[in-house]
Structures are given as C-alpha cells and as structure tokens.
A = this chain, B = another copy of it.
Amino acid sequence: MSKEVRTGRRSEPRQPSPHVARKRTLKRHLILESAVRAFAARGFYGTSMDDIAEELHLTRGSLYYYFRDKEEILALCHLAALEAVLDAAERVRGACLPPDETLRRLVVEHVRIQVDKFHGTALALEFDALEPKARATVVAARDRYEETLREILAEGIAAGLFRPVDPKLATFAIFGAINWIGRWYRASGPSSPEEIGTQFAEIFLDGLRAQPGAAPSGGSGQR
C-alpha cells in the first residue's frame, strides 16, 4: 500500500486517496472482465476498444484512463488467468497427494477456473499480439504453469504410477483439451464445468480403452 511518504498535509498527485484508488481498482476489474468476454468471443484483433467499453456504458476513450493501451488489457487478462491456475496448482500440490490424484484435482480446478472465471478462454488468447516485453512476462508465467504440470507427470512416471510418456507432449495434450473448451462450451449445454473436468481427468488418466480385466458392461465390483 502506501509505500513510504505519508501524504502529509498536501495531497500529492501521485498518491490518490485510498477511497479513490479503490474505486479505480474496482473499475479496472470490471473493464478486464468485459475484455475477457469480448476477447473470448471474437479474439484480440476482432475486438474493438468500443466493444469493451460499450457494455460498461463507457466510451472508447475512457479506457485509456485506466489502461495504457489495448495490449495492456490483453496482457492483464492473461496474467489474471495464469495467476488463478498457478494458485490452484500450488494449492493442489500442497496437499501432497499421489501424482495421479494431484493431476486429477488440477485438471478439475483448471477447467473450473477456465470456464467460470474466464469464459473458457483463459490461456487461449493470442499473446503473439503483445509487444516483446509484455509477451515475455506472460510467457514466463505460462511456462511456470506448464512446468508444474510436467513435474507432476515426471513424478508420476518416476514413481511407476504413470507410463513413460513424453511429459511435454502429454502436457500439450492436456492443455489443448482444456484450452479448447472455450470454443464449444455453452453454459446452457448439458455438461457442467465439474463434469467436464472430471471426464477430462478420467480420459487423460485412464484413457478410452477398457481395462483388459474389466467386464464390458457389468460392474466387476472393484469399486
């Protein structure tokens, strides 16, 4: 918060009152939410600043009071999404569960965050549109998350719990399936985010093929 200098008797222009700063932060949140919706629907280049401003009953120009430019809004959308899944990954890993259960929970959490908070398109936005510096920041956060997933897979392989797949390709497959959700998911559809996450985790963990020992249809009573 207030770093060092008390505002003292004179209001410094750099230091708005807490009340004003809070209002500004809230508005920034609203704008980013509107932007995520628009970007998810029509992509970065297909979304105008008017699109983002419109549903907040603002005009295009006002957005530049809150954000430097369109790219900054895109970068912050990405970073918010990545922060959310990185938090989820830390929480899930903190539980110190076996790699398969860790993976299952992370997939479910990631799907839930992606769908509920980012309209299915959290990490699927085009950060190629960002200038090098902002892109580097976003890519670094994305790489941290991908690395977390690869670690979980590597641990599972080392423990003999997972087959010796290529952790990179497996990570891309999982990411792809989750990031693609935004292209087909509709809130009015038959599947809830929880059902999607649970099914996806099941497919990635156990595959489509029935276990050789399992009965085709009648329960084997294993569980």
Copies of this chain, complex-wide, total 2
Closest to A172 in B: B184
* Nearest-Cβ distance from residue A115 to partner chain B, whole angstroms: 13
Q: Is A199 an interface residue (CB 8 A)?
A: yes
List 17 A–B pairs whose Cβ atoms lie within 8 Å, in order of A's numbering: A42-B126, A156-B208, A160-B217, A164-B217, A165-B199, A169-B191, A169-B196, A169-B200, A170-B208, A173-B203, A174-B177, A176-B180, A180-B180, A205-B209, A206-B209, A211-B211, A211-B212
Contacts A166-B199, A170-B199, A176-B176 aside, 18 further interface pairs with beta carbons under 8 A come to A42-B128, A43-B43, A43-B46, A44-B45, A44-B46, A46-B126, A46-B129, A103-B208, A159-B216, A160-B217, A161-B209, A163-B206, A163-B210, A163-B211, A165-B208, A173-B199, A173-B203, A176-B178
